[in-house]
Chain A
């Protein structure tokens, strides 16, 4: 079955540190990829998405993600995190089903 894996369950960083959250998907066909973020007490919101073209996509708040087809990966990056980036991050894939498949999420805690 198609799946999305996020191997980092809980990440703790200091402010200004660089961030990379891993996301791998298992699907051999064309895939659209997404990162969603859930700030404490808020609803899930779209961070960025990849459909085609440039494999390096930029989203809101300085986040970016790189699609590497050969590795089935779509890792999320940010050069310098802020305390306000503390949130839970979900990778999701359109794997041909009629609804997105989400990963289990990564809880990011940024310490001031």
Chain B
């Protein structure tokens, strides 16, 4: 597609439920990133996928968070047993190549997650 597409745009869930957030990157972009944007906290890196390499999961805050990228394209971020502190905007970005950010990232509009 023309841009990075994320769905849903808004998600309200009850504490303890699982949620799945979807990201459809720009066609042909090999690198895909997930970030979390909390109020006043800036962008917190979560996970990075590059081609067929093992993902860099170093930013995932707990084992309740996981992500996969199927076929080198669409990615799903799953949060199990959601907690109120998980409330944030989850941003996905893609770039033509990975690693150094030379080309800059193209961001999606994000998914606003609210845990009640």
Q: Give the interface of A toward B (CB within 8 A).
A: 6, 9, 32, 34, 42-46, 49, 51, 90, 92, 94, 97-105
Report the minimal beta-carbon distance from A99 to chain B, rounded to whole angstroms.
5
Interface residues of B in 1-22 (CB under 8 A from A): 3-4
Q: Give the interface of B toward A (CB within 8 A).
A: 3-4, 33, 35, 40-43, 45, 48, 50, 56, 58-59, 91, 93, 98-102, 104-105, 107-110
How far is A45 from B105 in the complex, measured between Cα atoms in Å?
Answer: 8
Are A104 and B101 interface neighbours, CB within 8 A? no
How far is A100 from B106 in the complex, measured between Cα atoms in Å?
Answer: 12
- Which residues of chain A are near B91, meaning CB under 8 Å? 43-44
Number of A-B contacts (CB under 8 A): 60
How far is A111 from B56 in the complex, measured between Cα atoms in Å?
Answer: 42
Select one of A49, A90, A102, A104 contacting B104, CB under 8 A: A49
Contacts A/B (CB < 8 Å), 24 sampled: A9-B40, A32-B100, A32-B102, A43-B91, A43-B107, A43-B109, A43-B110, A44-B93, A46-B104, A90-B43, A94-B100, A98-B48, A98-B56, A98-B98, A99-B45, A99-B56, A99-B101, A100-B45, A100-B101, A100-B105, A102-B43, A104-B40, A104-B42, A105-B42
Q: Kindly list 12 other residue pairs between chains A and B, CB separation below 8 angstroms, not including A34-B101, A49-B104.
A: A34-B104, A43-B91, A43-B107, A44-B93, A90-B43, A92-B43, A97-B45, A97-B56, A99-B33, A101-B45, A102-B42, A104-B41
If over half of B's interface residues share one DSSP class (helix, strand or loop), that class is named, otherwise mixed; here it is loop
- Which residues of chain B are near A92, meaning CB under 8 Å? 43, 101
- Which residues of chain B are near A97, meaning CB under 8 Å? 45, 56, 58
Report the minimal beta-carbon distance from A12 to chain B, rounded to whole angstroms.
17
If over half of A's interface residues share one DSSP class (helix, strand or loop), that class is named, otherwise mixed; here it is loop
How far is A109 from B6 in the complex, measured between Cα atoms in Å?
Answer: 28
- Which residues of chain A are near B3, meaning CB under 8 Å? 43
Are A99 and B104 interface neighbours, CB within 8 A? no
How far is A99 from B53 in the complex, measured between Cα atoms in Å?
Answer: 14
Report the minimal beta-carbon distance from B92 to chain A, rounded to whole angstroms.
10
Please, which residue of chain B has its CB at the minimum distance from the CB of A99? Answer: B48
